Amino acid sequence: MADFDDGTIVIQLQKILKTQYQQIGDAMIGGGVDNMEKYKYMLGQAHAYQFITGELSNLLNKGAKDDKSTILSFGNTRNKNNNT
């Protein structure tokens, strides 16, 4: 398994979301929508991808400004003074 740090994971997620967003746009422009229900569904997906991408960017920016911790913490959450 590859060794990723938190920032790398967020960047990879952003790339995936950008690709998915582009594919939806291409399908909509290229005539991949044949009814209003499908159009609304695809538009909703596009909005969700944009929202998530924006939130991930906010996390990266917050993490860059926060000197105390990383962006996401998946490690041990026990109290450092408690050995249990």
The pLDDT of residue 5 is above 50 = yes
pLDDT at 63: 66
75 versus 7: the higher-pLDDT residue is: 7
pLDDT in tens, 25-80: 999 999 989 999 999 999 999 999 999 999 999 888 876 665 455 444 455 555 55
- At residue 67, the pLDDT reads 47
> Using alpha carbons only, what angle is made at residue 54 by residues 49 and 58, rounded to the nearest 5 degrees?
150
Mean pLDDT of 18-28: 95
Q: How far is it, in rounded angstroms, from Cα 62 to Cα 10?
A: 13
pLDDT score recorded for residue 59: 85
**DSSP-H helix ranges across 30-82:** 36-65
